[in-house]
Amino acid sequence: MKPLKYIFLLLITIYFISCRSDNDAVVNPNLNHNYTGLAVGNFVIYNVDSIAYNDFTSSVDTFQFQIKEKIESQLLDLEGDNSYRIERYRKEKDSLNWVLIDVWSSKLVATNYQKVEENVRFIKLVFPIRANKTWNGNIKNNLGEQQYHFSAVHQPAIIGGFPLDSVSTVSQVEDLNLISENFFEEKFATNIGMVYKRELSRKRDSLSDPWLGKDVTMILAAYGKE
C-alpha cells in the first residue's frame, strides 16, 4: 500500500502546485508596458504642423516638417536602471536628408515611463493604465506640479492613416479661455509609443489683441525598426 500512498501524495502535490501557478497567472496584471515601444532600433516619424503667433507683427507663421525619433542604444543610468538613448532628426518638407537635432533619453520602470526632453524629465505614463487615473507628470523636475490623467484608454483609432488596435490618451494640460489657451495632449499606441502630440500655448492681453504663442501638432507618419 505504501507505493500507492506515495503516488497519491505526489498527485496531490502536483495538483496544488498547478493550481497555485494558475492563480499566479491570473492575478499578475498586464502593466501595459508595451505602450512605450521601447526597443533598440525602433523609430517613429511624425508629420509636424507648427503655427507661431507673433503679436509684434500681427502675423501667423506656419511651418511643416518631419521629426524622426529613433531608439539608438540602451545603457545603465546613474540609478542603475536601463535607459534608452533617443536620437531625434528633422527633415524639411522638400529635403531628402535627415539632420540630427537632439539627443533625448527615456526609461521604463515598473510603475511609470519617463522621458527626458531638453534635459527635463517627465513622467509620461503610469502603470497599469486605467481610465481617469491621475499623476504628477512633473514630479521628476522643478516645473511645478502638473496633474496628468488618462482621458481615454485602450481604444481603437486611426491616426495618420494607420489603423491602431489600442490607443491611450494622456491629457496633460487643459486650460482654455478667451485670452489664454493651453492644451497639451499625447496619445500612445501599443508596440509603437507616442503616435500623436498637441501643444497649444498662446495668450493675448485683450480680446482685440493678437495672439502670442504656438500651436504644434505631431501626427504619426511612419514607424518600424532599423
The predicted pLDDT at position 115 comes to: 98
Mean pLDDT for 17-35 is 60
Indicate the DSSP class of residue 58.
T
Query: Which segment of 11-15, 56-60, 72-76 scores lowest on mean pLDDT?
Result: 11-15
Q: State the pLDDT at residue 56.
A: 66
Could you tell me which of 86, 83, 58 has the C-alpha nearest to residue 72? Answer: 86
Residues 59 and 16 both lie in one domain: no
pLDDT tens digits, residue range 37-67?
999 999 999 999 999 998 666 789 999 999 9
For residue 123, the one-letter residue type is I
Inform me whether the pLDDT recorded for 18 exceeds 70.
no
Q: How many domains does the chain have?
A: 2
pLDDT in tens, 143-190: 999 999 999 999 999 999 999 999 999 999 999 999 999 999 999 999
- Pick the residue with more confidence: 111 or 19? 111
- Residue written as grid cell 509603437: 192
Domain that holds residue 7: 1-29
Check whether residue 17 and residue 94 sit in a common domain: no
Q: Give the whole-number percent of the chain exceeding pLDDT 70.
A: 85
DSSP, res 30: -
Same domain membership, residue 88 and residue 38: yes
Q: Are residues 35 and 23 in the same domain?
A: no
Evaluate if residue 1 carries a pLDDT over 90: no
List Cβ<8 Å contacts ≥24 apart for 210-213: 210/53, 210/54, 210/55, 210/58, 211/53, 211/55, 212/53, 212/54, 212/55, 213/53, 213/181
DSSP of 123-190, one letter per residue?
A: EEEESS--TT-EEETTTTSSS---EEEEEEEEEEEEETTEEEEEEEEEEEEEEE-SSEEEEEEEEEET
Do 67 and 159 lie in one domain? The reply is yes
Question: Which of 173, 172, 128 is CA-nearest to residue 153?
Answer: 128
For residue 34, the model assigns a pLDDT of 96
Query: What is the pLDDT averaged over residues 138-146?
Result: 97
Domain identity same for 94 and 25: no
Contact 121, 140 (CB under 8 A): yes
pLDDT at position 24 is 43
Q: What is the mean pLDDT of residues 62-78?
A: 95
Q: How far, in Å, are 50, 67, 139 from residue 197 at the CA level?
A: 12, 12, 21
The verdict on 1 and 50 lying in the same domain is no
User: Residues 12, 86: one domain?
Assistant: no
Say yes or no: 99 and 210 in one domain: yes
In a shared domain, residues 65 and 10? no
Same domain flag for 40 and 15: no
Q: Each residue of 197-221: pLDDT tens digit?
A: 999 999 998 998 889 999 999 999 9
Q: What is the pTM of this model?
A: 0.85
Residue 6 has pLDDT above 60, yes or no: no
pLDDT at 2: 46
131: domain CATH number? 2.40.360
CB neighbour burial string for 34-46, b if at least 16 within 10 angstroms, e if fewer? bbbbbeeebbbbb
pLDDT at 23: 42
